Amino acid sequence: MIIGVAREIKVEEFRVGLTPAGARELAEAGHSILVEKDAGSGSGFPDEEYGQAGAVVVPRNAVFGTADLIVKVKEPVRAEFPLIRDGVAIFTYLHLAPNPDLTKELLKKRVAGLAYETLERDGKLPLLAPMSEIAGRMAPLMAAFYLQKFKGGSGVLPTGVSGVRPGKIVVLGAGVVGTNAARVGIGLGMETVVINKDTSQLQRIDEQFKGRVQTIPLSAHAVEEEIRDADMVVGAVLVPGGRTPVLIPKAMLGSMKKGC
């Protein structure tokens, strides 16, 4: 099989779909690996490393025009639509539910779309979990940055100081993202609340964090009450392959603290 690795052109996307180590394993298995020039530079993998691993570095058109399987990280953007050949296979995060234009394009060209976020093994999503772990840990850190006054936040110090209460973080969802967001909230010393529909996941959170997290079953009333005095709110609900439900409608935003 000819496997092509495309360079990501989505704004602020620096990841690459295949490392040089992965390219070496596939090449040794008998596959031909085409890597677009500078595809790995944003992740610290220069073209030379791919060449040494047995891949061939080629221009963009060669990847899309030759490969049987195109490996990416993010869904194809509109500028890539004309490059997609009929019947090609694309292995990437697709997130088709909120993107009807991409969905229609893939259907029109009979593309075999293999979406990282929906591939299951033993009931789990092994290709989504690592990104969810990163997202969950990054969310409170980014929120802490934007809580600063000069960024338009309330100026609350999440960790608190002697004589001052710490901030409060509310996490909506108790999956991989939610669990990791709660972990960071606890690490920062924040009052940490997790709201989730599945009470068995709340029990897991209770056991994992030994009572340092307040767990609450999901309801519109619970969300409204808890976000009222929150300094951070992290949305961490997942519907595999579908749209995430709206848990905080516009009417509820007015009840939140200014600068949250």
Q: Known catalytic residue: 95?
A: yes
Label residues 209-224 b or e (16+ Cβ within 10 Å = b).
beeebbbbebeeeebb
How far is residue 208's CA from residue 258's CA, in Å, rounded to a whole number?
A: 32
How far is residue 77's CA from residue 9's CA, in Å, rounded to a whole number?
A: 8
Q: Which of 92, 104, 124 is nearest to 238 (CA)?
A: 124
Q: DSSP string of 83-95? A: GPPTT-EEEE---
How far is residue 93's CA from residue 114's CA, in Å, rounded to a whole number?
A: 8
SS3 for 212?
coil
| Backbone φ and ψ of 77, nearest 5° | -90, 170
Residue with token string 């609350």:
156
Q: Which of 93, 106, 233, 125 is nearest to 173 (CA)?
A: 233
How far is residue 62's CA from residue 67's CA, in Å, rounded to a whole number?
A: 8
Per the residue annotation, which of 24, 31, 95, 137 is the catalytic one?
Answer: 95
Active site residues per annotation: 95
